[in-house]
Amino acid sequence: MTADAAPPASEVRLRAGELSRDGRRVIGPLNGYHHETYAFPLPEESELSARFARAKLRAPRPGLLWFDRRCFASEDLLLTALQGRITRIPEIIEVGGGVCLQGFIEGGTLDGGAGCLPGRYLPGRGLSRGLSRRHVDQLEQFFNELVSIDPKKLEEREVKRVCAAADRTDDGDSAAFLDRLIGFTEDQVYRRHGEPYQGLFEELGVGAEALVRLRKRAVELHRRPFSLLHCDLHRKNLIVDRRGDLWIIDWELAMIGDPLYDLATHLHLMRYPRREEARVARRWQRAVERARAGSSYGWEDDLPLLLAYKRVQSVYTDVIRTALLLGEGRGRSARPGPGSGLNLRLLPRAAWRIQRVLAAAAQEPSGADRELSGAAGAVGVPSYRQVVAAYRNWFRTARPPEALTPSAP
């Protein structure tokens, strides 16, 4: 193959072309870490064509480095089971051979500003944009519907889970649930997958101390009945259609667990202004209590600890993802390490983002989790120049990790 030749089409791309009846109109792959995704116009005879102009075909990417625990074996089977029970998710149909199509929501993401109130930039907190009243109402409805679903009913619908029964925590044991999450981050992300990056962690002042402190505090969590969780409610997974309604996509990280964890994950990923954060939290509390009494028990005491965990988790995840991104920016086959080539064009923006992640992990938002500040275990937050130097040094000396799939942080 010459340097200018296009790589061969993947099986997923070829299948999308077959289903569309015109491979030239297939768009993709769309952005996404866990799945290879394509969109294409629907033939008139499709079951979805009366309600959608286009469909999405998704397939899991092989050989991924997972930064989060997985719960369900198939996102498609989960979404199929949720049809008619969760209002704001796309319709899904099976087209044969275990292949499923999702209706494609025409519109824009909240990441692009769709449906958001005017905002301003806040250093260390991202773009300060609140949600419209309409979207807060729809988000409240979504949380209510999530908690209304009995997890046992999902098993009855043959939505298989990948975790062994012995590794699942008892219903309502929020402390054990968080302990499992901490254990996954420590064992699978920091130690196993993070082994090639230890030199980078050390230069950035990142250690495992915060995970130890979090584990000691996890026993303090109040009991709450478990529910279905989305676990990835960020702006790119919230779609605003052309009528202005909100839709929730990308359920690959969904799991069964403490409902407060879904709120913590959402607040962490969205980086709302403080007043907006409080408004969304109050609406969440109202939604889950209306669905199942006790679902928000002790939430104000426990939320800071769960947010602290999300900040710590982000440090390990983003440091590794950024190294992968900087190494693969010069070609699909590139890997971090000697001779792979540090992408200097991407380095300034990536280093700035890592510096902000480290600063966020070290913040002291309240007395409730002040002892967890400095979440990365750093003596002080490294400066932007120090972050740039850390990645430069690591690329000069690191051994390339084997066959990992990079993604943008």
Task: For residue range 162-216, list pLDDT tens digits in order.
Answer: 877 777 899 999 999 999 999 999 998 888 878 889 899 999 998 888 899 999 9
DSSP secondary structure of 232-268: ---GGGEEEETTS-EEE---TT-EEE-HHHHHHHHHH
Side chain identity at 352, as an amino acid letter? W
This prediction's pTM: 0.86
Instruction: State the Cα–Cα distance between residues 72 and 78, nearest whole angstrom.
Output: 7
Place of tokens 């390339």: 400
Residues 6+ apart with CB under 8 A from 245: 88, 134, 138
Higher pLDDT, 294 or 343: 294
Of 45-54, 83-92, 261-270, 337-346, the one with minimum mean pLDDT is 337-346
The reported pLDDT for the residue numbered 157 is 79
Instruction: State the Cα–Cα distance between residues 256 and 331, nearest whole angstrom.
Output: 38
Higher pLDDT, 246 or 96: 246
Q: What is the mean pLDDT of residues 264-269?
A: 97
Structure tokens at 69: 């625990």
Residues 6+ apart with CB under 8 A from 115: 108, 131, 132, 134, 135, 240, 244, 246
Higher pLDDT, 108 or 156: 108
The reported pLDDT for the residue numbered 298 is 98
Q: What is the mean pLDDT of residues 121-134?
A: 58
What are the tens digits of pLDDT across the range 133-177? 999 999 999 999 999 999 988 887 778 888 777 778 999 999 999
The reported pLDDT for the residue numbered 340 is 55
- The answer on pLDDT for 354 being more than 50 is yes
The reported pLDDT for the residue numbered 130 is 75
Residues 6+ apart with CB under 8 A from 52: 42, 90, 91, 103, 104
Higher pLDDT, 117 or 146: 146
Instruction: State the Cα–Cα distance between residues 39 and 23, nearest whole angstrom.
Output: 11
Higher pLDDT, 408 or 390: 390
- The answer on pLDDT for 119 being more than 60 is no
Of 3-7, 13-17, 35-39, 354-358, the one with minimum mean pLDDT is 3-7
Instruction: State the Cα–Cα distance between residues 391 and 63, nearest whole angstrom.
Output: 24
Instruction: State the Cα–Cα distance between residues 354 and 360, nearest whole angstrom.
Output: 10
> What band does 405 get if pLDDT is binned at 50, 70 and 90?
very low
Per 3-state DSSP, what percentage of the chain is helix, strand, and coil (rounded to 5)? 45, 10, 40
The reported pLDDT for the residue numbered 44 is 83
> What band does 331 get if pLDDT is binned at 50, 70 and 90?
very low
The reported pLDDT for the residue numbered 69 is 86
